[in-house]
Amino acid sequence: MVLFNVSGVETTPFDGQKPGTSGLRKKVKVFKQPNYLENFVQSTFNALTPQKVRGATLVVSGDGRYFSKDAIQIIIKMAAGNGVRRVWVGQNGLLSTPAVSAVIRERVGVDGSRATGAFILTASHNPGGPNEDFGIKYNMENGGPAPEGITDEIYENTKAIKEYLTADLPDVDITAIGVTSFGGPDGQFDVEVFDSASDYVKLMRSIFDFESIQKLLSSPKFTFCYDALHGVAGAYAKRIFVEELGAQESSLMNCVPKEDFGGGHPDPNLTYAKELVARMGLGKSNSEVEPPEFGAAADGDADRNMILGKRFFVTPSDSVSIIAANAVEAIPYFSAGLKGVARSMPTSSGLDIVAKNLNLKFFEVPTGWKFFGNLMDAGLCSICGEESFGTGSDHIREKDGIWAVLAWLSILAFKNKENLGGGELVTVEDIVRNHWATYGRHYYTRYDYENVDAGAAKELMAYLVKLQSSLAEVNEIVSGIRSDVSKVVHADEFEYKDPIDGSISKHQGIRYLFEDGSRLVFRLSGTGSEGATIRLYIEQYEKDPSKTGRDSQDALAPLVAVALGLSKMQEFTGRSAPTVIT
Ligand code: G6P
Ligand code: ZN
């Protein structure tokens, strides 16, 4: 057994190591500065109670983006230096964010050990490569992201750090499955490399009826494709969709994980998932090759999802509503009923209506998956979702891109039980249109202004808050822009009191609520790594079934005009158009 020594290395603080919505994300060149990653990791160890460090088992892995392999070796050495007993690493350092959550909650190590936390190495949907982003976040023993109390403490520690602990271990081979043991001042230290997919696949099999999905996927009437955008989802897609469920290998697109995501932007939306969007025939009334019936994509770390039908886009807000409305019938895990449902504030109010109709507990939380965790731990929420292409359930404490695809395939399998032999297939589009006919439709769009000057973005937000003090003035501006838009009846900044721990989160987005149920929400992104990103969320409710079939950009045009005029978007940002529309 190789022996190692532990030593303290002197260091000085770096500015700006405050974790955002989902961990610390910076350009690779920032992370590569000597001691930058080390300071953050040590600050995290110091923010945890000693039992979560000394003698503990921790997971270290991520989406495989550039710099991950170096980071994993650094963290292994620091874990040994801090008295951690075992580090678990997915083979080649790959684990999707949902798989990490599953591994913390479900996995038992070769020696019977269980993990109490994880360093996840990802910048999610941000591009990767030497000139792009890297990221790191810490997840707790429930499998969910560290709560604000911990991330605040990490940040405080980064401002005062003087020393970090590390061990003089050799690099560990993370390409081969197996355990490598070392001997240190506190005794044995193990690094266990394990198959990235097995635990996750097992969990999925326990939630869904794989047999019925397999019947659907093997039916010649149903065609399928999945785009991992060269993210870590590729490590799961082949195992689940092809090997377990019998999809054709040719249905997988960009399913080889790459350090730079093939130079692309691994964000599953209509702008960045171009290849999939084209294959699904969106924006074309006919095409030479008939598009598949179902298509989906994931982001870099596979927690996000985009669901498409043939020539048809399912908004993430509709997706969570539809999954919630059909889960009990179509997904065995939910057959005993749903404990409750939840959405983030900017997500459309479609889920509210499903909750009301089905008499379910309902929660509206700030943006960020961590807010769902407390509700789930308290047994109050089964299914939740966000407009930002996140959908999931209480099977883990992260959103789950592949779970969302399996949920949709389950619904399709259920609706088509009788039709696979003969009869007309119920399509993704049919399911969505039927949902609108039953519950009404929330026309919805999001405008993103990326990499705006941070000062200008702040001024715009401050202006919108100030405006809220006089609704009369707001309504005068609104009616001056469009006379066909209803009146603003309430305006505020969203604030959330967690019903479980009583913690209060302020300034979670600026809301303008209209008499007819329409909403405008303005928020600054918490996940960017440069400048500021302004997000504008626009929503309008239509109950009349004869009016739910319009093009959403047409239907929303009046509200969009009001939003842009009211916020003086162009004046503040200099932008005449958003970077991305979803
Ligand atoms: C991450 C979180 C999501 C959240 C999203 C918001 O993906 O995991 O829960 O919705 O960030 O990002 P934003 O850029 O809008 O702050
Ligand atoms: Zn992600």
Question: Distance from the CA of 580 to the center of ligand 2, in angstroms?
Answer: 17
pLDDT band at 529 (very low <50, low <70, confident <90, very high): low
Ligand 1 atom nearest 299 alpha carbon: 7
Ligand nearest, relative to CA of residue 139:
1
Residue 145 DSSP code:
B
* 345 and 313 assigned to the same domain: yes
ipTM value of the model? 0.97
Pick the range with the lowest mean pLDDT from 235-239, 292-296, 551-555: 551-555
* 534 and 412 assigned to the same domain: no
- Residue at which a domain ends, from 196, 217, 238: 196
Mean pLDDT over the full length of the chain: 95
Pocket probe mutation, ligand 1, options 523, 527, 579, 582, max atoms within 8 Å of Cβ? 527
* 427 and 468 assigned to the same domain: no
Run of H or E residues at 471: helix 471-481
* Secondary structure of 146-188 in HEC code, one letter for each residue: CCHHHHHHHHHHHHHCCEEEEECCCCCCCCCCEEEEEEECCEE
* 81 and 26 assigned to the same domain: yes
Choosing from 124, 212, 321, 348, which is the catalytic residue? 124
Ligand 1 atom nearest 388 alpha carbon: 10
Q: Is 483 a catalytic residue?
A: no
* pLDDT tens profile 302-351: 999 999 999 999 999 999 999 999 999 999 999 999 999 999 999 999 99
Pick the range with the lowest mean pLDDT from 379-393, 490-504, 517-531, 534-548: 517-531
* Domain range enclosing 241: 200-439
Pocket probe mutation, ligand 1, options 267, 369, 388, max atoms within 8 Å of Cβ? 388
pLDDT band at 20 (very low <50, low <70, confident <90, very high): confident
- How far apart, in whole angstroms, are the C-alpha atoms of residue 51 and residue 528? 33
Question: What is the residue type of 279?
Answer: R
The phi and psi torsions of 529 (rounded to 5 degrees) equal -120, -5
Ligand 1 binding pocket (C-beta < 6 A) is: 21-22, 124, 344, 367-369, 386, 388, 390, 525-527, 535
Ligand 1 atom nearest 527 alpha carbon: 14
* 27 and 70 assigned to the same domain: yes
- Residue at which a domain ends, from 196, 218, 251: 196
* pLDDT tens profile 74-127: 999 999 999 999 999 999 999 999 999 999 999 998 889 999 999 999 999 999
The phi and psi torsions of 410 (rounded to 5 degrees) equal -65, -40
Question: Distance from the CA of 281 to the center of ligand 2, in angstroms?
Answer: 25
* 279 and 297 assigned to the same domain: yes
* 408 and 531 assigned to the same domain: no
What count of residues does the chain have?
Answer: 582
Question: Distance from the CA of 122 to the center of ligand 2, in angstroms?
Answer: 8
Domain count, the chain: 3
- Residue at which a domain ends, from 196, 221, 240: 196
Question: Distance from the CA of 125 to the center of ligand 2, in angstroms?
Answer: 5
Strand locations in 22-177 (E): 24-27, 57-62, 86-90, 117-121, 133-139, 163-167
Question: At 518, which CATH number?
Answer: 3.30.310.50
The token duo for 433 is 């249109």
Question: Distance from the CA of 184 to the center of ligand 1, in angstroms?
Answer: 40
Ligand 1 atom nearest 535 alpha carbon: 15
Say whether 402 sits in a helix, a strand or coil. Answer: helix
Q: pTM for this one?
A: 0.95
444 or 283: which leads in pLDDT? 444
* pLDDT tens profile 144-192: 999 888 999 999 999 999 999 999 999 999 999 999 999 999 899 999 9
- How many angstroms separate the Cα of 253 from the Cα of each of 239, 265, 280, 314, 392? 14, 15, 12, 20, 23
* Residue 455 pLDDT greater than 80, yes or no: yes
* 432 and 384 assigned to the same domain: yes
Ligand nearest, relative to CA of residue 20:
1
The token duo for 425 is 């297939």
Question: At 154, which CATH number?
Answer: 3.40.120.10
* 281 and 429 assigned to the same domain: yes
* 561 and 417 assigned to the same domain: no
* pLDDT tens profile 182-234: 999 989 999 999 999 999 999 999 999 999 999 999 998 999 999 999 999 99
Q: Give percent of the chain with pLDDT exceeding 90.
A: 90
* 144 and 255 assigned to the same domain: no
Closest residue (by CA) to atom 3 of ligand 1? 368
pLDDT band at 21 (very low <50, low <70, confident <90, very high): confident
Up-side HSE of residue 523: CA atoms within 13 Å toward CB?
A: 28
Ligand nearest, relative to CA of residue 133:
2
Question: Distance from the CA of 368 to the center of ligand 1, in angstroms?
Answer: 5
- How far apart, in whole angstroms, are the C-alpha atoms of residue 352 and residue 321? 8
The token duo for 271 is 């702008």
Ligand 1 atom nearest 368 alpha carbon: 9
The token duo for 361 is 């507990």
* Residue 262 pLDDT greater than 90, yes or no: yes
Protein residues with C-beta less than 5 angstroms from the ion ligand 2: 124, 299, 301, 303-304
Nearest to 116 by CA among 125, 124, 107: 107
* pLDDT tens profile 82-95: 999 999 999 999 99
* 311 and 286 assigned to the same domain: yes
Question: Distance from the CA of 22 to the center of ligand 1, in angstroms?
Answer: 7
Ligand nearest, relative to CA of residue 268:
2
Pocket probe mutation, ligand 1, options 138, 299, 301, 367, max atoms within 8 Å of Cβ? 367
